[in-house]
Amino acid sequence: MQSSKRSEGDWQGLVSEFLVCKRKLESKKEALLILSKELDTCQQERDQYKLMANQLRERHQGLKKKYRELIDGDTSLPPEKCNQMEEMEHNMKALTDELQDVKAERNVFREKAYRLNMELNHILGNREARIIDVDALCMENRQVGQSRNHHMCRTSPKRFLTNSIVAF
């Protein structure tokens, strides 16, 4: 036999190898198509993000411009609006100052109430069991007064006086 001639087994091996290569090629073509579609999708998303970024940049520039105009005093705003804004800023500053004053006054009264409670407890013998809260005492006194006035309206004056005398 000549060496140039191939046997049946050699041909079958070559055909088999050819078919394997053909399948690999088909598989690679399919993978290339999938990757191509993904690339298109990514490019579309990129374009959308660029568009959104540009829109946000434009909006930011517009807001920045409006802010500068408000700070610097926009001449396109009517004078009434500018005056209103100045008045509102002035009112806000005045209210903030008043709030600080009220907070400071509240703290002064708290400290005064604490000192009065301490002094009252000292006068009453400074026993731990006898701690008196002036504020609570005043509230209780006010409630008793309101209760009496309420009862007075509902009962006769004679009965009210009798009850008041018995209470003392």
- SS3 letters across the chain: CCCCCCCHHHHHHHHHHHHHHHHHHHHHHHHHHHHHHHHHHHHHHHHHHHHHHHHHHHHHHHHHHHHHHHHHCCCCCCHHHHHHHHHHHHHHHHHHHHHHHHHHHHHHHHHHHHHHHHHHHHHCCCCHHHCCCHHHHHHHHHHHHHHHHHHHHHCCHHHHHHHHHHHC
Name the average pLDDT for the chain.
81
Q: Could you give the number of structural domains in the chain?
A: 1
Residue 167 has pLDDT above 70, yes or no: no
- C-alpha span between 69 and 24 (Å, rounded): 66
Position 5 in a domain: no
Q: Which residue has the higher pLDDT, 130 or 105?
A: 105
Q: What is the torsion angle, in degrees rounded to the nearest 10, for the CA atoms of residue 24, residue 26, residue 27 and residue 30?
A: 160
Q: For residue 1, is pLDDT > 50?
A: no
Domain assignment present for 53? yes
Do the domain assignments include residue 43? yes
Q: Which residue has the higher pLDDT, 164 or 1?
A: 164
**C-alpha to C-alpha distance for 94 and 84, rounded to whole angstroms:** 15
Q: Domain for residue 30, yes or no?
A: yes
> Are 138 and 117 within 8 A, CB to CB?
no
Q: How far, rounded to the nearest angstrom, does the alpha carbon of residue 2 sit from its chain's CA centroid? A: 91
Identify whether 160 is part of a domain: no
- Band of the pLDDT at 105, cuts 50, 70, 90? very high
Higher pLDDT pick, 9 / 82 = 9
Range of the domain at 48: 13-75
Q: Please report whether residue 84 resides in a domain.
A: no
Query: Does 22 fall in a domain?
Result: yes
Q: What is the pLDDT of residues 50-83, one digit of tens each?
A: 999 989 999 999 888 888 877 776 566 677 777 8
Asked if residues 160 and 151 have their Cβ atoms less than 8 Å apart, the reply is yes
Neighbours of 70 (CB within 10 A): 13
Is residue 158's pLDDT more than 60?
Answer: yes
**Residue 151 falls inside a structural domain:** no
